Structure 1
Amino acid sequence: MSHVGSWREIEITKDLTIPKLWLQAAQKYGEKKVAMREKEFGIWVPITWKQYYENVKHIALGMVSLGLDREDKVAMIGDNRPEALWAEMAAMCVGGVGVWLFQDSLIDEVKYIIDHSDAKLMVGEGQEEVDKCLMIKDSCPKLKKMIWDDPKGMREYDDPILVSIKELMKIGEEVDKKEPGLFIDMIKKGKGDDICLLFYTSGTTALPKGALLTHYNMLTMGQNLMRVDPYFETDDFVSYLPFAWIGEQMMSISCGIQAGFTLNFPEEPETAQENIREIGPHVMFAPPRVYEQMVRNVQVKYLDATWSKRKAYELAM
């Protein structure tokens, strides 16, 4: 497929951060371009860059009202959803550090990482993540609040540590009215050598170890990839691999903001392959096992096909 224009390499200076670059993109695209789409109830729902900006701003200011400060940790767990990315970007805008956990992390793993990272806030998708938080909160004294976004099954929950993302955004809106320049001021304070993400090793041979990455690390990682395989603002990318994996962070955050391509979030992890076919992404990035599974799926369907379809496949190959 042909692309409009060409990829332009940005200069990654010592003062450049992910939120500063994200802010430039939000100001450039505004309502003119879709930043991301999420499939809900069978429909792809577009979210513009202006909506992306407003949501991140209100979450960030809401986090500040909960006591988040520069260098504080925000733990996150759940499926790939726009709200998860908004929360991560919000934490970075404040000057905080995102700490991602895999969706299927066991309670002991969650407890260890929350406690070891000194996370002040936790962001989770819904009831499953909330239950894990409530089970570990007494063992993690530095954890102050748990933010959730999916209301399914949450009606009876009233623990004071819990706050919905909608409530948080309302709080952020009020803060923005009182201090309209605060959000931009926080972004301006960031430096390229500030820590932005904390990744933990799998812990298969010993306790998990944390690896700190700066804004400069993340931006140059994406830039080096695009020097080999450039991406464009007209491209589509499907975000379905765990945000706790650095490869997904490189694509969705670093490359996504530098290139300005559109992120697409599947309806459920189980529908990811079907949703990928619907979007027809220009860009895919995954570990070898994912491509191996795709090949196996094709091979199984080939063996189950009729003689005429198998012959058509062989001719096409």
Structure 2
Amino acid sequence: MTTGMADSGTEARDTFPKLLAERARTGANRPAYREKEYGIWQTYSWSHVAAQVRLLAAGLADLGFRRGDRLIVVGDNRPRLYWSMCAAQSLGGVPVPVYQDSVADELAYVVEHGGARFALAENQEQVDKLLAIQKKVPSLGVIIYDDPRGMRHYDQLQSYAEVQERGAKLLAAAPDTVSAEVAKGRGSDEAIMLYTSGTTGRPKGAILSYDNLVWAATAGAEFDGLKEGDELLSYLPMAWVGDHIFSYAQGYVVGLVVNCPESVATVMTDLREIGPTYYFAPPRVLENLITQVTIRMEDAGLLKRRMFQFFMTVARRVGPALLDGRPVSPLDRLLYALGNLLIYGPLKNTLGMSRVRVAYTAGEAVGPEIFNFYRALGVNMKQLYGQTEASVFVTIHPNGEVYPDTVGKPVSQVELRIADSGEVLYRSPGVFKEYFKNPEATNDTKTADGWVHTGDAGYLDDRGHLRIIDRAKDVGKLNDGTLFAPKFIENKLKFFPHINEVVAFGHGRDYVAVFVNIDMIAVGDWAERRNVAYASYQELASRPEVYDLIQGEIEQVNHDLAADPRMAGAQIRRFLVLHKALEADDGELTRTNKVRRGFIGERYKPLVDALYDGSRTAHIKVDVTFEDGRKGAIEGDVTVRDVAPHATLKKAS
């Protein structure tokens, strides 16, 4: 296999600044990054990237940035923000990317906890947050901005270009300033600090070394045959470990071409234009894409809808088998080829997946219906199981062994162990060094001999694949002893395009009940086609017609659960549609869109009580944070509905 990867075992290539120097030497004119500005793609070569990083690193040095300093990086995916991380690393510093949609208080915690003296912001929006933080956290001394729009009167700050100008002057006087610092770097040094999602409390700063990241980038690339020149679109938050591995570490190790979209709003257009060969999407993105497809089909004419339904039935039967190399009859091959011409090919092109050779989904459990939809189209979608603390890679589906109920086999050099409690543990060269300023949490998570507690319950099946049941702390039992795995139930409901989020309750209760968040776009489209009037999310969510719609979908899930004797007792008996969307700004979701289950249970306790005390309605008032930072409250009466369970069904043999 030819990957174009540098040998991570040699000291000369054991850090990203050294890898960048090697890329610039051996592939100076090959594309490294692209950025879309004003509708035009700009391409930057490896030699250009190396020159830009060197200038910025020298400018940071001139401003007083020293080995061990932390650089806060906040903004959307931009080449210059990725380059700033390498510039900090060139001087022995540690970049700390932060979620760009973090409110000021969340950002302040990271700045103060990390002890950062320097910050680089993409634009005025992020600068304003940092300036507000600077008043409370005076240790933040230097703020640099990239985009000059709106920054005319921010004279006290440094622009990206101005820092590079300082760097040029320093290098003219002392040419070896940056290269001497790069040479001091070692694979065991701290490379990045990434804050975990914080589902149960304050996020923790996980410190990963170059050795961790270079191993992970290499192991992941070798597993699926990534090669130099493979294209990906970098649209997920830079603060998330997945983006750091795929867009940054594998970019340097493999020689990927990293494409940065023009904006969040243009991602789908940019995806179609680039046609990536390497693709990653968390379950929520995959769910949203299916929702868009479903809405378009519902608005299509009868003939087109019937044709779509027929060929998707063929695709679900034939597509995964073709991907896995299993036998397929000549008639099915012919039907699939016709479907590819009429349906699958145009749909993949619309989704920007026409050239995808390997695609991953991870971050949380994905429903099998969602997963199989993409494989039915011929997209080589795989599940990946990993964590920040693992430098991402723990298990991946091997080609020909892709099963929707597993998360694959261990990556090279990864050891797996299942504790007596059912918790999954792993050990690998990617295991993080420590949690910053938190030795107690480090010791709770990582054993002295390097095993990491995942917090997930699971087991290895007879095929050697890992199956994850749920978060260990979330798996429970109903009062009659029936297994209660909330994520399993939630994901089955989230396959329906009208349902955006679900929170299931049941541990220690007599039955399962759920909160439902509707998808405003899908349900809004559904309501408009039926002349159902509404003026807001709250009003739409309370409509009896919407309750009827959601109840029908819950009943379908109950029918599926009834077919599994282990889960038949976990059918949903009561539900309500929340009067507001769950939001990260309100603390209900993490910045990676994971449900903060405990927080929601406490925040909406009157509604949880209503699900179990027989109430038909309940009144609720909760504080909310609006997009502009203002605080307010939303209150109203929420309807609770009963759902009749299905009789236990026997599975067909």
Answer yes or no: is the 8 Å Cα contact 2:221–2:227 preserved in 1. no
1:94 equivalent to 2:73? Answer no
What corresponds to 1:7 in structure 2? Answer: 3
Distance 2:8 2:38 in 1: 40
What corresponds to 2:149 in structure 1? Answer: 152
Q: TM-score, normalised by structure 2?
A: 0.46
SS in 2 for 1:185: helix
Answer yes or no: is the 8 Å Cα contact 2:34–2:257 preserved in 1. yes
> For each residue in 1:262-303, what CA deviation from the matched residue of structure 2 results, as whole angstroms up to 9, or x when unmatched?
111100011111100110000012222222222222222222
Question: Quick one: percent identity of the two aligned structures?
Answer: 37
Distance apart, 1:13 and its partner CA:
2.9
1:202 equivalent to 2:216? Answer no
Change (3 A) 1:130 1:27: same
1:174 equivalent to 2:169? Answer yes
Answer yes or no: is the 8 Å Cα contact 2:23–2:252 preserved in 1. yes
State the superposition RMSD in angstroms.
Answer: 1.6
Answer yes or no: is the 8 Å Cα contact 1:13–1:192 preserved in 2. no
**Equivalent of 1:253 in 244, 248, 252:** 248
Distance 1:33 1:309 in 2: 44
Query: Which residues of structure 2 form unaligned runs of 5+?
Result: 312-338, 345-653
Structure 1 or 2: more strand by fraction: 2
Matches within 5 A, 1:28-177: 28-30=26-28, 32-158=29-155, 160=156, 162-177=157-172
Query: Which residues of structure 1 form unaligned runs of 5+?
Result: none
Distance apart, 1:14 and its partner CA:
7.3
1:271 equivalent to 2:266? Answer yes
> Rg: which structure is higher?
2
Answer yes or no: is the 8 Å Cα contact 2:6–2:254 preserved in 1. no
Distance 1:237 1:303 in 2: 31
Number of aligned residue pairs:
310
1:296 equivalent to 2:291? Answer yes
> For each residue in 1:213-244, what CA deviation from the matched residue of structure 2 results, as whole angstroms up to 9, or x when unmatched?
00111111111211221211221111110010
Which structure's relative contact order is higher, taking Cα pairs within 8 Å and 6+ residues apart?
1
SS in 1 for 2:288: helix
1:226 equivalent to 2:224? Answer no
Answer yes or no: is the 8 Å Cα contact 2:5–2:255 preserved in 1. no
What corresponds to 1:22 in structure 2? Answer: 20
Distance apart, 1:202 and its partner CA:
2.5
Answer yes or no: is the 8 Å Cα contact 1:77–1:123 preserved in 2. yes
Distance 1:215 1:145 in 2: 26
Distance apart, 1:140 and its partner CA:
1.8
Change (3 A) 1:8 1:81: closer
Letter in 2 for 1:240: Y
Distance 1:97 1:14 in 2: 22
Answer yes or no: is the 8 Å Cα contact 1:14–1:216 preserved in 2. no
Letter in 2 for 1:123: L
